[in-house]
């Protein structure tokens, strides 16, 4: 075995050990640190949620939210906007802009979405939502991919608020048929610094230049710093179960329109 091969094997083992450590620390936080509230941010697909997945939380009627960030390995800039039109009903839009040389903007979708939280009793909430994605012909889709989903959340005691959902994406050729996603958020420094973990068995958007492997489970883990009542910042490790860690930086602001 060559020296280069030995070095590569050693690096892969070190990365795997680091990932195990990260997962153990996250699970320890989930089991030890209490979580008392359900809170969300504008995701890279526009829905109110965590980093990529939607959750049941909808902001107050009349709230406008905007998010932007940069994902390093894929060299993407993303922007998203979300507005709550009526009580418990939001509409959103988002786009990732690949910045690499000769990148085709049409290979990442323009995303339009909506979500409605239709039931709430105590700490339990139920929501339904969907999104449609517009890509150019070179992306290889005969029709615009459409995703529909339902999600629930509840206070699960020691696990804090648990958010889980099921859905289906139409007009794609994939080896799976049912979408599943799960996420939780815990505070490290109360009201300021939070750790967020989320898992999905599907790609939250179609097209090229993704920060995750679309053929397998995707686990994202990151920190959110709520600097002000109206602004937060995040550091995210995307798809940390893969052979590499794709890191992103982002932020969000929100304010009342009416």
pLDDT digits (tens, 9 = 90+) for 84-117: 999 999 999 999 999 988 889 999 999 999 999 9
Label residues 91-100 b or e (16+ Cβ within 10 Å = b): bbbbbbebee
Residue 253 burial class via C-beta count within 10 angstroms: exposed 0-12, middle 13-18, buried 19 and up = middle
* Statement: 33-256 belongs to CATH 2.40.160.40: yes
Quote the pLDDT of residue 27. Answer: 52
- Of 173 and 41, the structure prediction assigns the larger pLDDT to 41
The whole-chain average pLDDT of the chain stands at: 86
Per-residue pLDDT of 34-62, as tens digits, reads 554 567 899 999 999 999 999 999 999 99
The closest alpha carbon to 172, from 147, 200, 209, belongs to 147
Quote the pLDDT of residue 2. Answer: 59
Quote the pLDDT of residue 37. Answer: 55
Quote the pLDDT of residue 10. Answer: 47
- Of 252 and 215, the structure prediction assigns the larger pLDDT to 252
Does 26 score more than 80 pLDDT?
no
pTM of the predicted model as reported, rounded to 2 decimal places: 0.85
Does 29 score more than 70 pLDDT?
no
Look at the alpha carbons of 178, 106, 43, 212 in this order and tell me if their dihedral is positive or negative: positive
Cα–Cα distance measured from residue 194 to residue 6, given in angstroms and rounded to the nearest whole number: 38
> Quick check: 61 and 87 in contact, CB under 8 A?
yes
Cα–Cα distance measured from residue 89 to residue 20, given in angstroms and rounded to the nearest whole number: 39
Average pLDDT over every residue of 132-136: 96
Determine which helix (DSSP H) or strand (DSSP E) holds 79, and give its type and residue range: strand 76-86
190 pLDDT band (50/70/90 cuts)? Answer: confident
Determine which helix (DSSP H) or strand (DSSP E) holds 226, and give its type and residue range: strand 218-228
- Of 194 and 26, the structure prediction assigns the larger pLDDT to 194
Average pLDDT over every residue of 131-150: 93
- Of 103 and 65, the structure prediction assigns the larger pLDDT to 65
Give the lowest-confidence range in 31-40, 113-122, 193-202, 236-245.
31-40
223 pLDDT band (50/70/90 cuts)? Answer: very high
């Amino acid at each position: 075995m060559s020296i280069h091969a030995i070095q590569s094997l050693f690096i892969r083992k070190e990365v795997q050990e680091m990932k195990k450590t990260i997962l153990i620390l996250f699970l320890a936080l989930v089991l030890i640190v209490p979580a008392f509230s359900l809170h969300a941010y504008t995701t890279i697909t526009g829905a109110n949620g965590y980093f990529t997945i939607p959750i049941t939380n909808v902001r107050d009627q009349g709230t406008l939210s905007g998010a932007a960030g940069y994902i390093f390995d894929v060299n993407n800039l993303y922007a998203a906007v979300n507005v709550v039109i009526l009580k418990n009903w939001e509409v959103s839009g988002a786009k990732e802009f690949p910045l690499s040389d000769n990148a085709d903007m049409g290979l990442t979708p323009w995303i339009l979405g909506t979500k409605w939280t239709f039931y709430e009793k105590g700490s339990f909430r139920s929501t339904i939502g969907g999104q449609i994605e517009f890509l150019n012909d070179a992306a290889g889709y005969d029709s615009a991919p459409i995703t529909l989903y339902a999600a629930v959340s509840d206070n699960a005691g020691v696990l804090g608020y648990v958010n889980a959902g099921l859905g289906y994406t139409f007009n794609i050729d994939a080896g799976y048929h049912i979408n599943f996603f799960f996420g939780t958020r815990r505070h490290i420094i109360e009201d300021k610094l939070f750790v967020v973990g989320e898992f999905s068995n599907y790609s939250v958007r179609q097209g090229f230049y993704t920060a995750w492997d679309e053929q397998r489970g995707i686990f994202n883990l990151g920190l959110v710093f709520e600097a002000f009542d109206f602004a937060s910042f995040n550091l995210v490790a995307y798809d940390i179960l893969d052979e590499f860690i794709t890191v992103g930086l982002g932020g969000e602001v929100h304010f009342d329109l009416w």
